[in-house]
Amino acid sequence: MATLSDRLDHVLGVKAADRLTEAFDMTTVEDLLRHYPARYATQGQPLTEEEPEESAHITVIGRITKTELRPMKNRRGSLLKVQLDTGAARPIEATFFNGDKVRYLVKEGVRAMMSGTVHWWRPDRWNLSHPDYLILPDKAEAGVEELTSVRGSGALRGLAQSAKGAGGVDPAFFEREFVPVYPATAKVQSWDLLACIRQVLDQLDPIDDPLPADLREERNLLEVSDALRLIHLPEHKLDIEKARDRLRFDEALALQLVLAERRHEVEGRTAPACPPSTDGIAAAFDDRLPFELTEGQQQVIDEISADLSRTRPMHRLLQGEVGSGKTIVALHAMLQVVDSGRQCALLAPTEVLAAQHYRSLRAMLGDLGTAGELGAAEQSTKVVLLTGSMTAAAKKTALLDAMTGEAGIVIGTHALIQDAVEFFDLGLVVVDEQHRFGVEQRDALRAKAKGGISPHLLVMTATPIPRTIAMTTLGDLETSTLTQLPRGRSPIVSKVVPRKLHPGWVDRAWERILEEVGAGRQAYVVCSRIGEDPEAPPAKGKKSAEEKEGPTTQAAVDMYETLSAGPLSGVRVGLLHGRLPADEKDQVMRQFNDGAIDVLVCTTVVEVGVDVPNATVMVIVDADRFGVSQLHQLRGRIGRGKHPGLCLLVTDAAPGGTAMARLEAVAATTDGFELSVLDLRQRREGDVLGAAQSGTARSLRLLSLLDDLEVITAAQELARQVVADDPGLVKHPGLAGMMDAAVDGERIEYLAKS
């Protein structure tokens, strides 16, 4: 007999277990049983509910009603045209290219399973192109001798071999309504997995269910033993649905238990209480604001202020639309902490963004941010910048200001996490664009507080996160959302420019830039790549035709030269990309900020945080090379002042294709939350969970982070209740085991970064 924790080599043998470990990182019985079928081959129905897409791979079962052998037109041999009656409205057609070889088996009247690639050869007709096949026994057949041989080809022949016992092929197996089809590899095929799973299920001991009986009854959930059997070998469609319901809840609960434990651990720490001051620098800053905060900004400021006043560490996510005013909210929080005599660290993902934050915070604070300098306000603090590429002298000064407490606000990149950086009394950590940093990096910075004290944490993102994603990936954070745009923000109009279809429209794009520059405004031209890497070694071997013709995308370096000498020769054009030295990048951004550069040709280094209110036009070249969220982020760099913004998405994408549809969707709305859902659906949730882990035994296979809000909510409530009563899950070993088995540590870390 076998248990979930048993090693696979003890149950299946070393050879089979090693193949599963190498292909899917499976080591235990539970790893194998939680590798669920991707779909099911059904009696008489294709695997898709609707008409299958071009190139889709489907499996069908039915009776062959017609065959026709035809000579091939352009080479020797014959095609075998077959019609398979699956019980659908019309028969499914299949074509075999080795007709002379298969016609004696694939013949009228026999039952067959076929698995192949869909090819639409007319708008209303499709067929399976040279499918694998398996001749199935008729339900009326009783002679065991007829079942001892396997008649078929390819993957389905292997499937039959996996169902073959000592007495021959088990005919009952092919009478099943649903035959599981698994995510597989070239070395471990679906039928190999099925054979291993059937062997394990035959030996499996009863499982102690980790979920309480009253919860299972309340949610109408199967016992885990039944769910694990029925997900692999269902008898009815309802079996699949009920098994998925139970196992989907397990996946949600596993995630939420990890996040609940993390949340509980944070709540057990002590933080410095930083109550608001009525006559400090925060109050002085409020009095000087040249504009009125939105109702949403004030509400979030009040939420954060209350958090900072407590001795329990704040652990809050601040999300909002591009340009919704998150920086003002974060600065107010930092000033409240400075008023309490403590320091703040602002962590940014790039040097460009860190320098931009430094300049914008200094500008917003004015003499309130110049402590120690001539003309500083009575209530003031010092703001310093610390990045890896600073000169040794500048870095030494910044480090000293942080260590002595002279600097109330320290802004930097990953350099802030280094061991050499010490703070006098760190009270708040602000992480901008949180998805660029992992939990371990946030914790490394927070560990720089005084012994026994945990600083408050505020993480910000301009990438809107749907509620279910936030609950699942950031369930250890309280969430505040800014939905209003600050007063004075101008609307942005976006248009798709199909370069091949309307080449003249690109010329018009450069003319629009000239018109805006002529009116005293500025523009961006964004490219998807920098240019050829000068340090890259020359490619060896024979070049492909595509390589000989060169890349199809336009590089920023080339675009800068083309525009400077051509359409935009009459204006001041600058170049900004990631390979420039840090001081040169900073100089270019300063010139653009100051209006000394009219048009900035750049890469995605301007994607987040860059704030130039005078920039009104953005041309994104090869826009189809960017994701939905990235396009939305880039677009947010314009329309930040009193003039409306215009974003032009230049593309060679084919009309009617998925890339063009994506661009049209971006052009149709500026609602970041709507676009984030579209982005996740197009990229598939497997990508959200980490492409490197996609298809492994520990992937989230059933839970939809977008659609399963009710399941995630229920799992979150249960997880928090369980962890509150039993931190560490000592009294709930079943839940602890389920959590470890269903979602590994790497997955949780990836989710925390997503």
In the sheet where 492-498 sits, what is the strand order?
492-498, 645-651, 615-620, 522-526, 599-602, 573-576
What confidence score (pLDDT) does residue 490 get? 73
Confidence of residue 396 (pLDDT cuts 50, 70, 90): very high
What confidence score (pLDDT) does residue 149 get? 63
User: 702 is written with which tokens?
Assistant: 């059933």
Q: Tokens 């299946």 belong to which residue?
A: 12
What confidence score (pLDDT) does residue 281 get? 95
| pLDDT, tens only, 559-586 | 999 999 999 999 999 999 988 888 888 8
Query: 574 - beta bridge partners?
Result: 600
User: Which residue would you say has higher pLDDT here, 743 or 185?
Assistant: 185
Confidence of residue 545 (pLDDT cuts 50, 70, 90): very low
Distance CA 512, CA 559 (A): 17
| pLDDT, tens only, 17-60 | 999 999 998 999 988 998 999 888 765 444 444 577 777 767 77
Q: Which domains does the chain have, with CATH numbers?
A: 39-181 (2.40.50.140), 281-482 (3.40.50.300), 492-532+549-669 (3.40.50.300)
Q: Is the pLDDT of residue 620 over 80?
A: yes
What confidence score (pLDDT) does residue 437 get? 55
DSSP 8-class letter at 145: G
Q: Is the pLDDT of residue 647 over 70?
A: yes
The reported pTM is 0.66
* Percent of the chain with pLDDT strictly greater than 90: 40
User: 629 is written with which tokens?
Assistant: 């969220």
Compute the mean pLDDT over every residue in the chain, rounded to the nearest whole number. 82
Distance CA 416, CA 430 (A): 12
Strands 382-386 and 407-412: parallel
Q: Is the pLDDT of residue 259 over 90?
A: no
Burial pattern 184-208, b for ≥16 Cβ within 10 A else e, equals: beeebbbbbbbbbbbbbbeebeebe
Q: Is the pLDDT of residue 440 over 90?
A: no
Measure CA 451 to chain center: 36
What confidence score (pLDDT) does residue 142 get? 40
Q: Is the pLDDT of residue 690 over 60?
A: no
Distance CA 548, CA 532 (A): 14
What confidence score (pLDDT) does residue 753 get? 41
First-to-last C-alpha distance (Å) of the chain: 41
Confidence of residue 547 (pLDDT cuts 50, 70, 90): very low
Confidence of residue 510 (pLDDT cuts 50, 70, 90): very high
What confidence score (pLDDT) does residue 69 get? 92
Confidence of residue 367 (pLDDT cuts 50, 70, 90): very high
Greatest distance between any 2 Cα atoms in the chain:
102
What amino acid is encoded at 513 in this protein? Answer: I
